[in-house]
Each structure stands twice: as C-alpha cells, then as structure tokens.
Amino acid sequence: MPDPSPAVLVTDFDGTLTRHDFYQLVIDELLPPGTPNFWSRYVAGKVTHFEALRLTFAAASPGEATLAALADRMGLEPALADEIVALRNHGWQVVVASAGCLWYIRRLLEAAGVSLEVHANPGRIEDGHLAMSLPIDSPFYSPETGIDKSAVVRQSLQSGHPVAFAGDGPPDLAPALLVPPDLRFARGYLAAELTRRNESFRPFDRWSEVSRALCDR
Ligand SMILES: [Mg+2]
C-alpha cells in the first residue's frame, strides 16, 4: 500500500541508516591479498562508482553465510522501526535511495521489521560472492551509480510538499543540494564537502537524530 504521508525524507543507506558501509567491511575483512583497490580507481575517475562497488563485491567469495553475517554487522539504526512510526505520525514517509545493493538492504530492513520504498542496485549470491547488477528497469536508472539519487529527490519535490535528504558519501552531494539547508542532513564525507563549499546543512551522527529533528519541526 502506498504511504500517504505528504512529506518525504530521502535517505542514503550505507553509512547513513547504518554505522558502516558494506563495501568498506568487504574491503577490510574479506578481500584476498593483492586485490586491486577499486575504490581508488573510482576516486581517480577511472571507473564508475557502480563498477568500483561491483568489482569489490565480485572479488570476495566467502559464501552467503559470511556475507550475511557481514551485513548484520553494518550497524543498522537500532530504533529504526520506532523512528519510522514516529515520522509517519508527523506526516513524513521515508524513501531509501542507495548506490549500494538491494541484497543486504532488504535483508536488514526485513530483520528490523521495517517496510520502506527502496531504490538500489539488484544483487544475488553467485559462486559465493555478491553479484550486483545495474537497475536498468528503474525510473531512476543511472549508469554511473545505478540509482540517480537526484532524480529520486526531484520526483519527490514535484509534489510541492517538504523534501528532506540525509546522506554521507560522494553520490549524496548533488541530491543534498536540491533540498533546503534546514532539511539537508549530512555526516562524513558529505558534511566535509558541504562545509568546503560553504553550503549549510544539519550535521548528524545517528540517523535517529534526523528523524527526531523532522518530528520536532
Ligand atoms: Mg552512504
């Protein structure tokens, strides 16, 4: 059933709704010695954000149980179910826009008993690794990141109701700049980059601080 709440919080997943990024846990704990640093290739502009993640996930084949255990250690916001209810009671619906993978996002949200609209890259376990693919059928498809988060925000803005954005990484910069500063929530890289550009935002550490701020408006 569609969520009738008029205002929309578009939120990143890895590092925003969770404490840790899945790709970073894979790099830190699962990549075999000698695996190329695909993230630095992305930072250098040699591969897309999507390809950096896809290649990283493809390079670690520990099997589904180990990958699932890794996802469980991403540190999903512990009060998420309660916060979603509070937001709905205050007229806010939550939409997840992620350049990461549906495989672990769905897994963590289901375990938390939370049902949200999610836009992310499809993926499944193949030969012991997470095989991520481009969401070519998505209305928000982007060859660069898989999901064009700015397009998700723009669609929400069309309603004329308030739109907030929360994020932490490089793909979050453009969508964050589409919403007003008092509805722009940032941590990590995104907070540093907005500061460098003299753009106002609201810093947060835990995602529940974002939901509290929106409920208290
Ligand atoms: Mg992130």
Distance from the alpha carbon of residue 61 to the mean position of ligand 1, in angstroms: 23
Is pLDDT of 106 > 60?
Answer: yes
Please write the tens of the pLDDT for every residue from 145-164. Answer: 999 999 999 999 999 999 99
Give the residue-averaged pLDDT of 192-202.
98
Please write the tens of the pLDDT for every residue from 119-150. Answer: 999 999 999 999 999 999 999 999 999 999 99
State the Cα–Cα distance between residues 143 and 65, nearest whole angstrom. Answer: 30
Please write the tens of the pLDDT for every residue from 16-63. Answer: 999 999 999 999 999 999 999 999 999 999 999 999 999 999 999 999
Please write the tens of the pLDDT for every residue from 87-101. Answer: 999 999 999 999 999
Q: Decide if 81 contacts 208 (C-beta within 8 A).
A: no
Distance from the alpha carbon of residue 4 to the mean position of ligand 1, in angstroms: 27
State the Cα–Cα distance between residues 1 and 69, nearest whole angstrom. Answer: 31
Neighbours of 148 (CB within 10 A): 23
Please write the tens of the pLDDT for every residue from 169-194. Answer: 999 999 999 999 999 999 999 999 99
Distance from the alpha carbon of residue 19 to the mean position of ligand 1, in angstroms: 9
Q: What is the pLDDT of residue 5?
A: 73
Q: Where are the domains of the chain?
A: 7-22+73-215
Distance from the alpha carbon of residue 73 to the mean position of ligand 1, in angstroms: 15
Distance from the alpha carbon of residue 34 to the mean position of ligand 1, in angstroms: 26
Q: Decide if 17 contacts 77 (C-beta within 8 A).
A: yes
Question: Which of the following CATH numbers is that of domain 7-22+73-215: 2.60.120.200, 3.40.50.300, 1.10.10.10, 3.40.50.1000?
Answer: 3.40.50.1000
Question: What pTM was computed for the model?
Answer: 0.96
Q: Which has the higher per-residue pLDDT, 133 or 3?
A: 133
Distance from the alpha carbon of residue 203 to the mean position of ligand 1, in angstroms: 14
Is pLDDT of 4 > 70?
Answer: no
Distance from the alpha carbon of residue 195 to the mean position of ligand 1, in angstroms: 17
Distance from the alpha carbon of residue 88 to the mean position of ligand 1, in angstroms: 23
Q: Write down the mean pLDDT value for the chain.
A: 96
Distance from the alpha carbon of residue 125 to the mean position of ligand 1, in angstroms: 22
Q: Which residues of 173-189 are buried (b: 16+ CB within 10 A; e: fewer)?
A: bebbbbbeeebbbbbbe
pLDDT tier at 81, thresholds 50, 70, 90? very high
Distance from the alpha carbon of residue 190 to the mean position of ligand 1, in angstroms: 9
According to DSSP, the β-strands at 129-132 and 123-126 are: antiparallel
Distance from the alpha carbon of residue 21 to the mean position of ligand 1, in angstroms: 7
Nearest Cα residue to 212 out of 105, 92, 124, 44: 92
Distance from the alpha carbon of residue 187 to the mean position of ligand 1, in angstroms: 9
